[in-house]
Structure 1
Amino acid sequence: IIRIDYIIACGTGSDGRETDKIYMLEANTTPGMTATSFIPQQVKAAGMEMKDVLTEIIENQFE
């Protein structure tokens, strides 16, 4: 599980063409894992259990 924060900057380049650039701000390889943290809330909203998600991640590494 990883969380990546980014911004998308929209504007006009020096040549007059519209450009969209993505700037990565942070890669967090261990996001919060408490019951009120973002990842566990997403898992719960999807109708899943954290233990099942983590078990699947671990088992997939052995395949």
Structure 2
Amino acid sequence: MQISARNALKGTVKKIQVGSVNDEVVIEIASGVEVTAIITKSSVENMQLSEGKEVYAVVKSSDVMVAID
């Protein structure tokens, strides 16, 4: 896989919450560390996503914000 995004985090699909238009995909990238993505149902179907499948969470952003309590 080649991609221009600098942050491609390999992980495993932990859960897929099915919605009417979009699905919520929870990806575990390390023990206890999760990334959640909202993607179209058709993307979930086209990629044949299911719990346990290895995937990449790809983050591409021109802005990163940092916050503290």
Where is the helix percentage greater, Structure 1 or Structure 2? 1
Q: TM-score band, normalised by the shorter chain? A: under 0.3
- Higher relative contact order by CA 8 Å / sep ≥ 6: 1 or 2? 2
Q: TM-score, structure 2 length as denominator?
A: 0.22
Q: TM-score, structure 1 length as denominator?
A: 0.23
Larger Rg computed on CA atoms: 1
Where is the strand percentage greater, Structure 1 or Structure 2? 2
